[in-house]
Amino acid sequence: MGDGGILELGAPVLAPRAAPRHVALIMDGNGRWAAARGLPRFEGHRRGVDALRKTVRAAIEFGVDYLTVYSFSVENWSRPPEEVQSLLALLHRFIRNDLAELQANNVRVRVIGSREDLAAEIAGLLLEAEQSTAANTGLTLVVAFNYGARQEIAAAARALAEEAVAGRLRPQDIDAEAIARRLDTADMPDPDLIIRTSGEQRLSNFMLWQAAYAELLFVPVHWPDFSRADFEAAIDEYAQRDRRFGGLATADRRAKTAS
d(CA 1, CA 100): 7
* Residue 249, SS3 per DSSP: coil
Q: Note if 117 is an active site residue.
A: no
| # binding residues, ligand FPP (CB under 6 A) | 20
* Residue 240, SS3 per DSSP: helix
Closest to ligand FPP by CB, 20 vs 48, is: 48
Contacts of 139 (CB under 8 A, 6+ apart): 56, 59, 60, 64, 65, 66, 67, 105, 106, 107, 108
Closest CA to 90 of 17, 30, 32: 30
For residues 64-93, one letter each, b for 16 or more C-beta atoms within 10 angstroms of the residue's C-beta and e for the rest, the string is: bbbbbbbbbbbebeebeeeeeebbbebbee
Q: Which stretch binds ligand FPP (CB under 6 A): 46-54, 105-113, 118-126, 131-139?
A: 46-54
The residue from 76, 97, 106, 136 that is catalytic is 76
Q: Which stretch binds ligand FPP (CB under 6 A): 45-53, 57-65, 155-163, 251-259?
A: 45-53
Contacting ligand FPP (CB under 6 A), which of 19, 20, 29, 133? 29
Q: Are 8 and 201 a contacting pair, CB within 8 Å?
A: no
Q: Are 114 and 146 a contacting pair, CB within 8 Å?
A: yes
Q: Does 49 bind ligand FPP (CB under 6 A)?
A: yes
In the chain, DSSP finds a helix count (H) and a strand count (E) of: 8, 6
d(CA 189, CA 191): 6
Q: Note if 105 is an active site residue.
A: no
Binding mask 142-181 for ligand FPP (x = CB under 6 A): -x--------------------------------------
Q: Does 48 bind ligand FPP (CB under 6 A)?
A: yes
Q: Which stretch binds ligand FPP (CB under 6 A): 87-95, 100-108, 118-126, 179-187?
A: 87-95
The residue from 28, 184, 190, 230 that is catalytic is 28
Q: Does 32 bind ligand FPP (CB under 6 A)?
A: yes
Q: Does 45 bind ligand FPP (CB under 6 A)?
A: yes
Closest to ligand FPP by CB, 156 vs 206, is: 206
Binding residues for Mg(2+): 28, 215
Q: Does 28 bind ligand FPP (CB under 6 A)?
A: yes
Distance in Å, CB of 229 to ligand FPP, minimum: 19
Distance in Å, CB of 18 to ligand FPP, minimum: 27
**Using CA of residue 7, residue 13, residue 19, residue 21, what is the dihedral sign?**
positive
Report the interface residues with ligand FPP, using CB under 6 A.
27-32, 45, 48-49, 52, 69, 71, 76, 87, 90-91, 94, 143, 198, 223
Q: Which residues are catalytic?
A: 28, 76
